[in-house]
Structures are given as structure tokens and as C-alpha cells.
Amino acid sequence: MKAVILAANRSARLSPFIETRCKPMIRIAGQYILENTVRFLKAAGINDILLVVNHQQDLIRNVFESGQKHGVNIEYIVQNELLGIGHALNLCQSSLEKKPFLLVYGDVLTDDNPYLSILQTYTETDKEVAMVALPESSKEFGNVYLDHEMKISRLIEKPSGDQANYVFAGMFVLFPNIFELLEMFNNDISRCYEHIIGTGGLQACLWEKGWIDMIHPWHILVANQMLMNSWETANIDNSAKLLGHVHLEGAVRIGPNVTVESGTVLKGPCYIGENSYIGNNSLIRNYSAIGPNSTVGYGSELKNCVLFGSNDIGRLSFVGDSVIGENTTTGSGLTTVNHTAEYSPVICKTGHGAVETGLIKLGAFFGDNVKIGVRHVTGPGSILNSGSKIPDSTTI
């Protein structure tokens, strides 16, 4: 069986990180979302992958190439115009050999392998299968309802109100006749799903472990926590150097050629990527993920944050509940304030307007290639677009 991974869409609400990468190439807990997907597919015995690309596709091609390094075969399908899921899937028809296949939305993330479960359900039922999940809030997704035989009985594409209900989890086993339906319904994938449901042919496979479809930038922090919560042991590469007295607690993961100076405390779960340097007397607290080739200066504190990589955090800084884009540098004394004075929920002013995050603690979001001078304070929910340059001694 082959897998089709949809990785073309731009996902505009994830700004300021989406301008320079597609969503599946966001690095969570030290690995790309797409890397996580490919690894799970391979473990489930799926070695042939059709990868539909468009936005920032060069990054995907440079990292994954033909798939050989990851033990799979990748064929790239370019969706030149972003005309939806149905259109993207239709481009793959000639490569699928009129056999059942896996359809995977490339921007969803799980903390365990969902493909083993969905393939088992397909084997047991010999029906088309949709993976479904139960998120805390389902208002952002199409809602599905199940009958007593675990078949999907109804799909509501745009639910009203905020309620918890089952949603499509972005993984399907589909039969070749999906292409006839796409032609019938003018590439409207939702109507295709509704037709399959109406004929009693769409079986549900319930996923009860960690699952997230990131919509807003702060969901990157939620996804990072989800993956790190699945870590049970520490893992420190043999080439890492822990100099002098370094205190470790919990599931600490350290990559190759990392140097951690004396006096530093690492509280897991946390991750330090390859070729990184942590200065003396730093505190790396739980749910911090430091991407490769990064530097954290003397006496700095990081807490519940994601650094994409090639970052330089100046000495005596505090980065909390924040996401820092790739190749972004900050001078000494940066403070990302992560709560309001009243500890009220943070409102984040995005390019799509003010959004209520519902979070009491939330720091800053810096895009790629941001340069920040010394002695800065950023307010809760601050956003800096990629390429921004901020002079010294500024409050944002």
C-alpha cells in the first residue's frame, strides 16, 4: 500500500513561522512534523510515499530528497495552484495503481504510531477507514458522529458553538473509486466523504492517544509538550560534553557535539539539538526544545519554549512560553514577559486580528532571521515577523 501525504498548503494563521517553511516542516521536540509522519509510516510497513508539495517545497526536498536516508521511497507531486485537498489528491491518481491507499494530512502530529491502528481496522473490516480523534475543542474542525458499529453516520463541516466531539484526525484508507467521486463532485473532498458516509461505507478508527492539528502559533508549544510527555528516559549522545558540575533531572535528551558548561541545570523533559552550546549557570526547564547549532548565553533561563535552530540567546536572558524562529539572535538581557499584570488570559494580535488564546501564560513569537539588540522586554503574546531588526533597549 502507498501513502499520499498532503504538504502543499500554506496555513496562514501560523504566522510568523509559516512564511519561511510549510507547516509539516515545523520542528517539534527536535524533529520535523513530516519526519515524525514518515518514521511512523515506515514502522507500519508503508515504504512508498507520494508527497504533494507547493509552499516552501525546496526545504522538504532538501531534507528528505528521494527518501533513501529515511528508508522510504518518495515521489513528489507539485500542486501548482492551491485548489484544495480534492484537487491535490486527484493529481496523484496515475501513481496509485488502482489499489487502496493511505491519505495523510501532513500537518497533524501524534505522539504514537496511528497507522498501525488504521491499517488494522482496514484489515478487519475491508472498508474505507477514517481515523477520528476527540480534541478538547472541535469548533475548528469538521465534526463526525458514530453509530453503534463504529461507522461514521454524519459529518458536519462547520459546527456551531464550541463543543467536544469527534473530528477527522487527518488519516484515511481510501479505495480507488474516490477518484470517480472527485470527478462527480468537482474535487470537493467533503462531499466525497459525505457520499461514502451516506452509503454506509466509512468505518471509524478511534485514536485515543496524543493528537494535534496546529492552527495558531501557540499550538506549537502544546504540540511540543505532547511529544515530550511521551518520553520516559533520558538520552545523551556519547559525543556530548557536560563540563564540571551539570545537574540533570528527568527525560533530558542531548544530541551530538553539544557542550554544556558547569553550573547548568537541565530539568526534563527537555531537548538540546546537535552542535549547540549552553553557557555556565544556565537553567533549561521542562518542555524546552533547543534546535541544532544554537547558543544559550551565561546565566539564561529557558522554560516551555521552542527554538527552531541556529539561535543565539544572549546572556542573562529569560525565554518562557515562547517560540523562536530559525537563525534568530537576541542580545543580552532579553525578557519575554509571559503573563499580564492581572494574570488574565493573553490576547494575541495576529495578522488575522486579535485572538483570545485562553492561556494565562504566553510569551513571544519571533519569526526566522530576527535580530534583537540588548536589554529588551517583550509583552505577553508579542509577535515579530521574520527579518525584523530591533535596536537596543526597546520594550515591545
Phi, psi at 291, each rounded to 5°: -70, 170
Non-local (6+) Cβ contacts of 149 within 8 A are: none
* Positive or negative torsion for Cα 333, 338, 340, 346: positive
How far is C-alpha 35 from the geometric centre of its chain's CA atoms?
A: 10
| pLDDT at 126 > cutoff 80 | yes
Tens digit of each residue's pLDDT (9 = 90 or more) over 61-87 = 999 999 999 999 999 999 999 999 999
For residues 172, 177, 181, 184, the Cα torsion angle rounded to the nearest 10 degrees is: 160
Round to whole Å and give the CA distance between 236 and 204.
40
Looking at residue 62, its pLDDT comes to 95
pLDDT at 158: 66
Give every CB contact of residue 100 below 8 A, 6+ residues apart in sequence.
Answer: 1, 122, 128, 173, 174, 175, 176
What does the pLDDT read at residue 392? 85
Half-sphere exposure of residue 103: CA atoms within 13 angstroms, side-chain side: 26
Q: Report how far apart, in Å, the C-alpha atoms of 30 and of each of 36, 319, 394 are.
A: 10, 18, 31
* pLDDT above 80 for 28: yes
Q: In the chain, what are the domain boundaries?
A: 2-215, 229-390
Model pTM score: 0.93
In whole angstroms, what is the distance from residue 302 CA to residue 307 CA?
10
By the 8 A CB rule, do 179 and 196 touch? no
pLDDT at 138: 58
| pLDDT, averaged across the chain | 93
In the chain, how many H helices and how many E strands? 7, 38
At 202-212, the pLDDT tens digits run: 999 999 999 99
What's the grid cell of residue 42?
A: 515506515
Task: Confirm or reject CATH 1.20.1070.10 for domain 229-390, answering yes or no.
Answer: no
Question: Is 70 exceeded by the pLDDT of residue 350?
Answer: yes
Q: What is the pLDDT of residue 4?
A: 98
Please write the tens of the pLDDT for every residue from 151-194: 998 888 766 665 658 899 999 999 999 999 999 999 999 999 99
Lowest mean pLDDT across 165-169, 229-233, 309-313, 351-355 = 351-355
Q: Name the grid cell of 252.
A: 533530558
At residue 207, what are phi and psi to the nearest 5 degrees?
A: -105, 115
pLDDT of 394 reads 67
CA dist., res. 102 & res. 231, Å (int): 28
| Direct distance between the N- and C-terminal alpha carbons of the chain, in angstroms, rounded to an integer | 52
How high is the pLDDT of residue 393?
Answer: 76
Phi, psi (deg, nearest 5) at residue 281? 60, 30
The mean pLDDT of 140-147, rounded to a whole number, is 81
- Name the band, by pLDDT with cuts 50, 70 and 90, for residue 337: very high
The tens digit of pLDDT for each residue in 377-396 reads: 999 999 999 999 998 876 66
232's torsion region: left (phi>0), alpha (psi -120 to 50) or beta?
alpha
At the fourth CATH level, which superfamily is domain 2-215?
Spore Coat Polysaccharide Biosynthesis Protein SpsA; Chain A (3.90.550.10)
Tell me what pLDDT residue 139 has: 65
If you average pLDDT over residues 88-97, what whole number do you get?
Answer: 94
Burial 42-56 (b: 16+ CB within 10 A, else e): bebebbbbbbbbbbb
Q: Contact, 323 vs 27, CB < 8 A?
A: no
pLDDT tens-digit series, residues 211-248: 999 999 999 999 999 999 999 999 999 999 999 999 99
The span from the CA of 92 to the CA of 48, in Å, is: 13
**pLDDT at residue 280 above 80?**
yes
Give the ranges where the chain is alpha helix by DSSP (H): 33-43, 57-64, 85-90, 115-125, 178-184, 189-198, 219-229
CA 317 from chain centre, in angstroms, equals 26
pLDDT band at residue 10 using 50, 70 and 90 as cut-offs? confident
**What pLDDT sits at residue 164?**
57
CA separation for the pair 396, 390 (Å, rounded):
9
- What does the pLDDT read at residue 396? 62
Annotate 61-81 with b (16+ C-beta within 10 A) or e (fewer).
eeebeebeebebebebbebee
Residue 35, classed as helix, strand or coil, is helix
What pLDDT shows up at residue 134? 86
Query: Grid coordinates in use for 88?
Result: 491535490
Residue pair 315/297 in contact (Cβ under 8 Å)? The answer is yes
Q: Helix, strand, coil shares of the chain as percentages rounded to 5?
A: 20, 30, 50
